A and B are shown apart, each in its own frame.
Chain A
Amino acid sequence: MSFLSTLFPAYAEIFLLAMVSVILIADLFTSGRTKTVTYLLVQLTLLGCSLITVATHQNGVTHLFHNMFVDDLMSDVLKLLSYLAVSMMLVYSRSYLLARGLFSGEFLALVLFALMGIMVMISASHFLTLYLGLELLSLSLYAVVALQRDSATATEAAMKYFILGALASGLLLYGMSMLYGATGTLDVNAVSAAIQHGVANKALLVFGLVFIVSGLAFKLGAVPFHMWVPDVYHGAPTAMTMLIGTAPKLAAFAFVMRILVEGMQPLMIHWSGMLAILAVLSMAVGNISAIAQTNIKRMFAYSTIAHMGFLLVGVLSGGIEGYGSAMFYAVIYVLMSLGGFGMIMLLSREGFEADTLNDFKGLNQRSPWLAFMMLLLMFSMAGVPPTVGFYAKFSVLNAAVAAGHIPLVIMAVLFSLIGAFYYLRIVKLMYFDAPESHERIYMQPDSTLLISINGLVVLALGILPGTLMSVCAVSVQQSLLLH
């Protein structure tokens, strides 16, 4: 009994694992193509996880399993947002996947395993736990992408994703082993302390750091480690793309925070320079390449690369401002991506993918409401107030100015101007052009409702962004102060 009660910070993970097992078995015994029972069970599981995470929340930082697992405000907030993102992703993609025969029990189980990986990463305070979470997430995602067996592009995307992902994992492991060699420990806090006291071999540390940053850049999709992003985003079925492009970004943010900020804060002078190069290159390549795309999923892929560059600007600016703004940016990015991919799926129908830019032509005439939602999402991605995307950019830029990175800020601003062009082009296609097809859009009630909420939240948070900003700042602060 006493042992079980000490596990309470990890109750959400334990519950999720138990439920995945239940769902896997239950799925065998529930017939029906629509998988309604399984689907509802999954949504209930997510709800249960949220309740447990809220109920087991406590102030301060709690370590568990010999410092391998940590529970703090940042982990709780990020987990809650991950549940939300996964839940929204399932609502958006349900009818899309049903129409393509991909809405299977395995898919749902893999999604939950991926979520499990995300949660482990978010709560990791040990390099091994981090790696474990990362692999659990990545392997589930590889499988999810490959789920559409008869599609050549999806299989190709899965292959690319797998090979490059494995390479990145290798880089990370290599970096971690060097860190271990230099400090004699894999515990994030102990590594930090060892570096602080100067007992570690500096050359070895920095060498390891290079590998770790490269691995991280791979996972984030930052230039020059971004090659997989456009192909995977493009090749995978849109629902899978949405899964890859949303909640895992929260995990990637947590990953950066745990490794670089908590583990290697004393080496900030080294990694912030590396991140600056990655950030500028990502913003440049991402924004400029996105202009040339005709496929909207590919465009979003490049835009993700650019957004990750922007997020890195927040991280490298440091301090509560910098990390808080990066977290806010990640959260907002996930919210906007969900809406963007959700819209693609909403416009798709059986046997038809609305994934080229031309499919958005004249959307205002076909459905003014959807066009308006997409307009809000696009202006938010471009960072134009009064949408929340502006505050995401604003807080990052503010942190960077406060840290004295003025040239970086000016570059970020100029690249986001370039970025504004391709988001604007979507608005142009929707509002200024005549539609190519007058096919009726079959608006699923659940995803239509969700996209409306999604778009309006982007606007509402743009009018009152204060609370979410504070939540991000406070959670970063609470997680870092006690080290």
Chain B
Amino acid sequence: MIFGFHLLSVAIWLPMIFGVLVLATGHDRNAPLARKIALVGAVLSFLVTLPLYTGFDKMTSAMQFVEMKDWIVRFNIHYHLGVDGISVLFILLNSFFTPLVVLAGWKVIEKRVAQYLAAFLIMSGLVNGVFASLDAILFYVFWEAMLIPMFIIIGVWGGANRVYAAVKFFLYTLLGSLLMLVALLYLYTHSGGSFEILDYHEMAIPFTAQILVFLAFFMAFSVKVPMFPVHTWLPDAHVEAPTGGSVVLAAIMLKVGAYGFLRFSMPIAPDASHSLSGFMITLSLIAVVYIGLVALTQADMKKLIAYSSISHMGFVTLGFFIFNAYGMEGALMQMISHGFVAGALFLCIGVMYDRVHSRQIVDYGGVANKMPVFAAFFMLFAMANSGLPGTSGFVGEFMVIMGAVKANFWYAFLAASTLVFGAAYTLWMYKRVIFGAVTNDHVAHLHDITLREKFIFAILAITVLVMGLYPLPVSEILHVSVNDLLVHLARSKI
């Protein structure tokens, strides 16, 4: 290992250090320099996370790359990092997206460039921290700190209604987080003074307390996922955020909530998870079906993809709470795949928005005539979003549906409706935007994507295809951790 045993620390702090460096370039006249530093930082940060994959031991569900230092001795809080098969993939996903986000904002962002890029780099480090933390307070600190750069990103570089969206985003998530803090404090007292997440996993908790703890965590994580009915911040935030912000929200932020269920809610309160699984599954299915229908009616492309994200995340929570290996592995595959696909779709919309400055479907039509290469890429991602076999979108959805069939036929039936709705809203949008005759001047003056944009899309397209055709490199990382988690969940902790 290059950095000894501090790989995770490097993954967390390197992007943040580069973020501060970028910030130091200051004024917009240094923007080219800021961009270069940011790109170097983002690429380096991605490269340093690669040993996490190559050096990962697939045979164990124990935490790896562990780092442990005293942090706040008085409260027995440690700087405790480590990853298992579940979290390591998200660190990779996050670090993978950071350079793409930097590239995506290369030309478009012209005001306060340094602050924009720094916000993304700092956030990337914080997100890695969320996934790597094994101490509850460390986790909480990263979790909350993440809000600050996102709040700024939406509010400063967002669209017309950005202030409303930013404040709504912040307050929604803060409400959930604060209740989670109360739950963590309860667990700290109950465990006799430990903030170790892994201690909580082993600790017996009475049933009523489990229910309350579960609900407190539910408030925090369901807002982030987001689950129906607390999803309403997402369309606003997505629509108003700049392209990079939307990409990070969709690809990374939403995963943080779902990850929370796996790391906190379910293993800490397994009995509550089982007895509330009906509730969770109901909410998930509402998200899949109802939000899928809502997506169908959207006139704004970003809003459409935002609703589509909620619907796909419904799949993820469904997969978790049917408690079998297919469901859970499928859900995780779906999370990874959705990261790539939704991220790519937001980038596609961003490409068009940069040229036409509209997100409305009606303002487009016949884009394929002017931007054939772009149309091809967009096609692939749209297909992946509707779960076409051969793309990454298919693997996860298929596995979750298989898992759901085992649990209950009707769950599977409702979940499978997404294959219809998903295809309907994505492809219908695609058809209206890309095909047909050129309808207006803006579209007539479009020019096809540049080399930089081609590069971004090519990388994403390859990933989506490889994951769809040969998902083993991803699923083998998950496998042991998921199985052990399911074994753990089957044991009562009352």
Contacts and interface: CB of A to CB of B under 8 A. Distances in A.
Contacts of B178: 413-414, 416-417
Most chain B Cβ neighbours within 10 Å, of A379, A398, A425: A398
A258 B175 CA distance: 36
A413 B112 CA distance: 35
Interface in B122-177: 137, 140-141, 144-145, 147-148, 151-152, 155-156, 162-163, 166-167, 170-171, 174-175
Given A390-B141, A431-B155, A469-B72, A424 B182 contact: no
Contacts of A391: 72
Most chain A Cβ neighbours within 10 Å, of B175, B179, B181: B181
A328 to B, nearest CB: 10
A414 B171 CA distance: 11
A458 interface: no
A200 to B, nearest CB: 35
A402 B152 CA distance: 36
Given A420-B171, A431-B156, A401 B72 contact: no
B470 interface: no
B115 A368 contact: yes
Contacts of B163: 428, 432
A324 to B, nearest CB: 9
A473 interface: yes
Interface string A283-321: 000000000000000000000000000000000000000
Interface string A353-372: 00000000000100010000
Interface in A411-457: 413-414, 416-417, 420-421, 424-425, 427-428, 431-432
A427 B115 CA distance: 15
Interface string A117-133: 00000000000000000
Contacts of B189: 398, 401-402
A269 B343 CA distance: 57
Contact of A466 (B74, B166, B170, B181): B74
Contacts of B181: 394, 397, 413
Interface in B395-416: none
A169 to B, nearest CB: 37
B156 A432 contact: yes
Given A409-B182, A413-B178, A432-B163, A473 B144 contact: no
B71 A398 contact: no
Given A428-B163, A432-B155, A465-B72, A384 B174 contact: yes
A410 B155 contact: no
B73 A470 contact: yes
Contacts of A431: 152, 155-156
B435 interface: no
Most chain B Cβ neighbours within 10 Å, of A364, A390, A401, A425: A401
B175 A398 contact: no
Nearest to A403: B189
Contacts of B32: none
Interface magnitude class on chain A:
35 or more
Most chain A Cβ neighbours within 10 Å, of B156, B167, B178, B179: B178
A432 B162 contact: yes
B145 A368 contact: no
B147 A417 contact: no
Contact of B74 (A368, A384, A420, A469): A469
A406 interface: yes
Contacts of A266: none
B429 to A, nearest CB: 30
A424 B185 contact: no
B74 A390 contact: no
Interface in B171-217: 171, 174-175, 178-179, 181-182, 185-186, 188-189
Contacts of A424: 151, 167, 170-171
Interface in A461-483: 464-466, 469-470, 473
B145 A386 contact: yes
Contacts of A416: 178
A477 to B, nearest CB: 11
A60 interface: no
8 contacts: A385-B140, A409-B182, A413-B178, A413-B181, A420-B174, A428-B163, A428-B167, A466-B74
Top 4 A-B pairs, shortest CB-CB distance: A385-B141, A466-B72, A401-B185, A413-B178
Interface of B: 26, 71-75, 112, 115, 137, 140-141, 144-145, 147-148, 151-152, 155-156, 162-163, 166-167, 170-171, 174-175, 178-179, 181-182, 185-186, 188-189
